[in-house]
Every structure is written in structure tokens, then in C-alpha cells.
Amino acid sequence: MTTKLGVAVLSFAHGHAAIYCDRLATYDDVRLTACWDNDAPRGAAMAARYGMRYSPHLEDALDDPNVQAVIVACETHRHAEMTVAAAAAGKHILCQKPMALTLADCDRMIAAVESAGVKFMMAFQMRHDPSNQKIKQLIEEGAVGRISLVRRRHCIPVLLNEAFIHGPTRWHLDPEKNLGMFMDDAVHAADFLHWILGYPMSVMAEIGNTVTDVAPDDTGVAIYRYASGAMAVLVNSSVALAGENTCEVYGDQGVIIQNHDDLVSTNVALPPHPIALKLYRRGETSWQDLNIPIPASHAERIAAVPRAFMDCILQDREPPATARDGRVAVEMVLAAYRSAQEGRRVRFPLQA
């Protein structure tokens, strides 16, 4: 390329924005150009760190002809506002998860980006992880046959971290800005299940506080049922100190076991000879190590997101996780909340 793709960051409220910028700064086809943040000291400091121009006025970033794409990393309840404005300005959009807190806001975002004809990608790092990509490939190839059960655990320890609770990330604890920690983090696993299994038929769930009371919830378990008959168990906790086994796929012809694929299982020392992904096929006598490398940290997985976003723009490709994918993940989590609140099975599509 003779010119670089100009990128603006719309808020550094979410910590992943800095990880994206760290990686984007290494690309020779991208230029970090502008930054808006309603927290002026934070915005100015991050702009200086990455050599961007900071402004407290959103229109300064969106009206800049040198900006072709934006990263929406503000508080979740403002994602729709930022996306609609960015789409109207003709900017391509990378949106932090979850897409929004209501399906109405998701629909506003979908309408805006489709009307404007801009690219929109959800920042679901699970889709860019080689281990998860291999799981999807194996399922599509029929390696495990007909699936009976999938269990996906996705956990973090943040509600046991005083710096998270009392620091600049404390907005995550506000139900108006983030709804709950299950919404904030289980949405990753919901998207993973949608990615490998498709759209579910129903869900039953329990979500609430178990060992903390600083956020609306700290732990949740949801059981999704699919038209094929398969069940999927989503386990999410914000009070998990450590972990290992992250995903299990059980089929009538094989089994896939994945380890060390979330924050709590890579932020502690790995055991001797760790195996990220292994496969057992019916009739065999041993497991097959699929030789997938384990990232040195969870941040490496997160940092895989911006390259895919840039490539979908520069190569005019469909984003790996679209706005409609983002809506399904929100719908799956909102339905789980309703099930937990009402003590009943909730069917899809979710009714208002």
C-alpha cells in the first residue's frame, strides 16, 4: 500500500483498546490517527502514548478525512450511539463486546451499518484463536460425528481484584453501563457456541452472586438446546482464580478436549507438558495431541483481533464476526438472564 489505513479509537474505557493499539502500532499498513474519549486525561494520555491526535469532541474524530476506521471501546451502553454516529460518517467499525445491552440497540446498529455500507466487526477473540479454529474445523469435518454435548468454560478473576473493583475499570460493575458480569464476559462463550453449533432453540440458566456482592452477578451457568438434539453448557465466572480445562466436545464418533484457553488458565504457570487440544476417535486406544501452541498470555489472543479487522477492510472481505453475529450473542445472554430471573426454560427467538 502507498497509503496507510487511518484508525481512530472511540474511548479507552475498555482495557482491550490498549491491547489493540499496541498491535496496530506494529503494522505497516495502519496509522493510529485520532482518539476521542469522554475522560479527557485518559484520552490525552493514551493519544500521546500512541502518537494520535486527541479531541474531547467526537465529531473531530469522525469528520477527519484521514480516518477510515474506528474502534468502539467505550462503556457498553454507549456502543449503539457510537456505532450509529460512526456509520453515518462512513467509517468502518470494530466494536468491543458485548455488542449492546438490548436487542433494540443491536437492531439500531445493524440498520445503521447496513444502510451506510460500512464494515462492522465484533471483537470476539475466540474466533481468531488457532485452538478454537481447529475445534470448528474438526466438527465441520465430522471428526466427532453427531454432537451430544459441548461444555465451554470462560472465566476471569476480576471481581477478586481490588484494582479492577476500585480503579478506572469499575464502570463494569454498573448495571446501567454493563448490565452484569455474565453479560460482559459470557458473551464470548455464547458467540463461540453460536459459531460452532448454530442458533439455539432454548436455554435454562442460573446467574447470580456466589462469593461477592460488588457487581450485579459474579457467576452463571446456562444450558442451551439445539435442533439437532445437542446440548451446550456455558460456564462463566468472574471469581475464578485458576483453571485448566476450557472446552469439551462429545460426539458419537469422537471427543475433543481443549485446555488453557481462557484468562485464568494462562495467567498461572502451566503444568509440565501441557496439551492445548486433543482428539479421541471411536475405536482408537489413545488421544491424539493436535500440537496447537498455547499463547504466553491471554492478551495474545485479544491482540489477534485487529489484524482480522484491518484485512476485512483492506481486502474487502466479510468480517469473521458480523453485527448479526453480535446480536445473536447478546440474545443468547439476555435469554439466559431471563431464564434465571423467571426460573423457566426460555425459547428462541427471544420475545420482548
The DSSP code for 320 is S
pLDDT tens digits, one per residue of 117-141: 999 999 999 999 999 999 999 999 9
Are the C-beta atoms of residues 319 and 121 closer than 8 Å to each other? yes
Instruction: State the pLDDT at residue 265.
Output: 94
- Residues 6 or more apart whose CB falls under 8 angstroms from that of 336 comprise 182, 186, 190, 203, 205, 207, 220, 222, 234, 346
Cell numbers linked to 245? 480445562
Domain that holds residue 133: 126-295+331-347
pLDDT surpassing 70 at residue 248:
yes
Q: What whole-number percentage of the chain has pLDDT above 90? A: 98
The DSSP code for 304 is T
- Residue 3's pLDDT band, with cuts at 50, 70 and 90, is confident
Looking at 90, 118, 146, the residue that finishes a domain is: 118
- Residue 2's pLDDT band, with cuts at 50, 70 and 90, is low
Same domain, 91 and 138: no
**What does residue 343 show for φ and ψ, rounded to 5 degrees?**
65, 40
Residue 322 lies in a domain: no
Same domain, 147 and 211: yes
Instruction: State the pLDDT at residue 1.
Output: 45
- Higher pLDDT: 352 or 338? It is 338
Question: What is the CATH number for 148?
Answer: 3.30.360.10
Residue 325 lies in a domain: no
Looking at 65, 85, 118, the residue that finishes a domain is: 118
Instruction: State the pLDDT at residue 352.
Output: 75
pLDDT surpassing 50 at residue 295:
yes
Same domain, 80 and 161: no
Cell numbers linked to 47? 493519544
Same domain, 183 and 159: yes
Same domain, 208 and 287: yes
Instruction: State the amino acid at position 290 in one-letter form.
Output: L
Q: Which residues pair with 31 in a beta bridge?
A: 6
Please state, in angstroms and rounded to a whole number, the distance separating the CA atoms of residues 309 and 94: 7
Same domain, 98 and 181: no
Same domain, 249 and 134: yes
Looking at 52, 86, 118, the residue that finishes a domain is: 118
Same domain, 144 and 263: yes
Worst-scoring range by mean pLDDT, 2-11, 113-122, 219-228?
2-11
The tally of domains found in the chain comes to: 2
Residue 33 lies in a domain: yes
